[in-house]
C-alpha cells in the first residue's frame, strides 16, 4: 500500500495531535479508555538528542509503546538529515507504524535551533530531511506536520510545494502561520488549497486548527475535502471526544476516576523522572463541569505532590449538577 496504514483508515479519520508534555503513554492510555482516535502520535522528540549518548537514554522514555497505541506515529524534529535518518531507523526497529517530522512548531526555542517552522526559511534542507527520513523509515509511511508558513500566507504555495516535492505519504497542515501562533482563527480555506495541492501529488492531507468536537471535524472534512482531522486542544475540553460518548455530560465521579487512573499511570511511567507540575496541566481536563469543580481544581493546582492530590480527590465528594 502506497500510503501504508493510512490507507486502511476510515474517511475522515481522526488523529490526536502530538503535544509536548502531553501525549505521553499515560495520557494516551487514558484517551484510549475513553474512546481512541484512529491514529496516535508521540510527543515530538529531538533527533539530535537521540544521536547524543547523553540524551538518548532520556529521550527513549518518550518513545515507549503500549499495545493500545497502534497505529502510532513517532514524531521527530531536527535540522540534520543524518539525525532524522537515524531516528527513523530507530522508530522502525521499535515497532512504530509511521514516522513524522515536525516542520510546524512555532515555539521560540525550537525555531531558534532552525527546526520546526523555521525550516520554511530553507526549503532545500527541509526536502533533504524528508528524504533522509524516508530512507531510514524503509517501508514505514512518512508524514510531515507543518503550518501555512512563517509570516505571510502568500508564501504557502511555495512552501507546501517544496514539501510535496519530497514525497511524504501524508501532509498535516495547521491552518496558521508562525506569526499568527494561535491568536486568530485557523484559515480552513487555505487548508482546502493545500488539499488540492496534496491530492494532485498523490499525498493524503490532514487539517488541523480550532477543531473542538468530532462533529465539527466531520463537517470541516466534508467542506474542505481533507482526508483526516487532527485535534489537539479539543481533547482537553472532552477526553471522550473521539469515542461514542463524546459531548455527553459525564459525572464528577467519572471525571475524578479518570484523574485517579491518570495519576496511577503517571506514577508508574515517570515517578520522579519528570516534574509533577507537568501533570497539573491535566487538572482542568478532568475537574470541570460541576458545582465546586473550580474550588477543587484550585486546591489541586496548589498540591505539592501526587499523594496530596489523591487525598483531595478521595476526600472531596462532588455532587452532580
Q: First CA to last CA across the chain, in angstroms? A: 50
Provide the H-helix boundaries in the chain: 25-35, 47-50, 55-59, 81-94, 108-112, 123-137, 156-165, 188-200, 214-224, 234-237, 252-270, 283-286, 293-302, 306-315
- Among 118, 233, 144, residue whose Cα is nearest residue 186: 233
**Per-residue CA distances from 169 to 126, 140, 165, 182 (Å):** 15, 10, 11, 27
- Per the residue annotation, which of 34, 105, 205, 311 is the catalytic one? 105
Helix 25-35 / helix 252-270 crossing angle, nearest 10 deg: 150
Give yes or no: 105 in active site. Answer: yes
The closest of 200, 270, 213 to 243, measured between CA atoms, is 213
Active site residues: 105
Amino acid at each position: 500500500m502506497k500510503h501504508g496504514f493510512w490507507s486502511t483508515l476510515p474517511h475522515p479519520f481522526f488523529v490526536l495531535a502530538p503535544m509536548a508534555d502531553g501525549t505521553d503513554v499515560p495520557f494516551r492510555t487514558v484517551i484510549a479508555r475513553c474512546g481512541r482516535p484512529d491514529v496516535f502520535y508521540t510527543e515530538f522528540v529531538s533527533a539530535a538528542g537521540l544521536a547524543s549518548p547523553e540524551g538518548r537514554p532520556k529521550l527513549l522514555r518518550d518513545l515507549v509503546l503500549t499495545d493500545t497505541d497502534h497505529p502510532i506515529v513517532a514524531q521527530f524534529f531536527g535540522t540534520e538529515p543524518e539525525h532524522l535518518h537515524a531516528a527513523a531507523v530507530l522508530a522502525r526497529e521499535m515497532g512504530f507504524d509511521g514516522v513524522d517530522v515536525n516542520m510546524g512548531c512555532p515555539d521560540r526555542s525550537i525555531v531558534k535551533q532552525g527546526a520546526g517552522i523555521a525550516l520554511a526559511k530553507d526549503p532545500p534542507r527541509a526536502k533533504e530531511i524528508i528524504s533522509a527520513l524516508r530512507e531510514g523509515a524503509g517501508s514505514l509511511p512518512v508524514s510531515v506536520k507543518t503550518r501555512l508558513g512563517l509570516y505571510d500566507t502568500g508564501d504557502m504555495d511555495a512552501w507546501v510545494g517544496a514539501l510535496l516535492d519530497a514525497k511524504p505519504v501524508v501532509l498535516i497542515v495547521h491552518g496558521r502561520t508562525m506569526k499568527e501562533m494561535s491568536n486568530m482563527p485557523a484559515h480552513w480555506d487555505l487548508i482546502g488549497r493545500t488539499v488540492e495541492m496534496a491530492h494532485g501529488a498523490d499525498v493524503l492531507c490532514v487539517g488541523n486548527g480550532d477543531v473542538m468536537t468530532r462533529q465539527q471535524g466531520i463537517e470541516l472534512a466534508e467542506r474542505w475535502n481533507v482526508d483526516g482531522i487532527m485535534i489537539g486542544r479539543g481533547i482537553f475540553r472532552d477526553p471522550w471526544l473521539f469515542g461514542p460518548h463524546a459531548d455527553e455530560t459525564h459525572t464528577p465521579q467519572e471525571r475524578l476516576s479518570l484523574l485517579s487512573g491518570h495519576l496511577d499511570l503517571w506514577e508508574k511511567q515517570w515517578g520522579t523522572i519528570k516534574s509533577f507540575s507537568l501533570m497539573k496541566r491535566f487538572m482542568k481536563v478532568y475537574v470541570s463541569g460541576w458545582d465546586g469543580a473550580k474550588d477543587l481544581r484550585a486546591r489541586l493546582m496548589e498540591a505539592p505532590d501526587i499523594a496530596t492530590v489523591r487525598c483531595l480527590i478521595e476526600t472531596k465528594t462532588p455532587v452532580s449538577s
